């Protein structure tokens, strides 16, 4: 009985993987990028280099058909106000609840956090972590560092511009990279956040990883819809 149950589970796992792979090949990846502030064009360029289509997101309708969403840098309070005024705040939370991947960089990471300090502000509360705004100071120039990262065997280039500090992460949040002892790249399920700017580095590692999350999340969301 135990062997039979194990065989059925293995067959179901293989079937699910095959369906996911087929869904990936049938549909081109389309990633939405919040286009309010920050270098959203650099995110788009990197994602297109990796083979994904991109769309600028400024309205709820722009999210339709997207497999994932990028929240770029900028000023988090301004972006939060825009999301709330345009109805995107609730739409993004529903987008995440459906299983779609979201990637926030710098200000985008602040928007994803469950708690924001220095000063306190509201957020999307999609990733279990506490973030300090302007945690590395209000530097005007970029600071570039190379640090170990679980996504690659070589040091990852990290470009910081007035980056926030991730003070602590929740139990379900994985730390993928650190700088000065603090998490700078974290993940909780299909939600990914970086306090640096991978779009400003020639290294595509982080965006490539996000596309994998988006592909998996989109495929599983479609499976749920079909069942």
| Active centre residues (catalytic) | 106, 197, 199
CA distance 100 to 214: 6
Q: How far is C-alpha 115 from the chain's CA centre?
A: 17
């Amino acid at each position: 009985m135990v062997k039979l149950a194990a065989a059925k589970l293995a067959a179901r796992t293989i079937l699910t993987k095959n369906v996911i792979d087929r869904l990936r090949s049938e549909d081109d990846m389309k990633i939405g990028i919040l286009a309010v502030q920050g270098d959203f064009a650099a995110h788009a360029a990197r994602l297109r280099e990796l083979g994904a289509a991109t769309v600028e997101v400024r309205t709820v309708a722009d999210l339709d058909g997207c497999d994932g969403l990028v929240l770029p840098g900028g000023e988090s309070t301004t972006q939060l106000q825009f999301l709330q005024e345009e109805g995107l705040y609730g739409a993004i939370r529903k987008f995440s609840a459906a299983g779609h991947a979201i990637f926030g960089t710098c200000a985008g990471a602040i928007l994803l956090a469950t708690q924001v300090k220095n000063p306190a502000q509201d957020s999307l509360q999609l990733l279990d972590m506490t973030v300090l705004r302007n945690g590395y100071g209000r530097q005007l120039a970029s600071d570039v560092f190379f640090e170990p990262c679980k996504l690659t065997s070589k040091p990852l280039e990290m470009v910081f511009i007035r980056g926030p500090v991730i003070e602590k992460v929740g139990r379900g949040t994985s730390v993928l990279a650190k700088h000065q002892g603090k998490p700078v790249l974290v993940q909780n399920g299909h939600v990914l956040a970086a306090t640096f700017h991978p779009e400003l580095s020639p290294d595509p590692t982080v965006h490539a990883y996000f596309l994998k999350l988006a592909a998996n999340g989109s495929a599983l969301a479609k499976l749920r819809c079909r069942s």
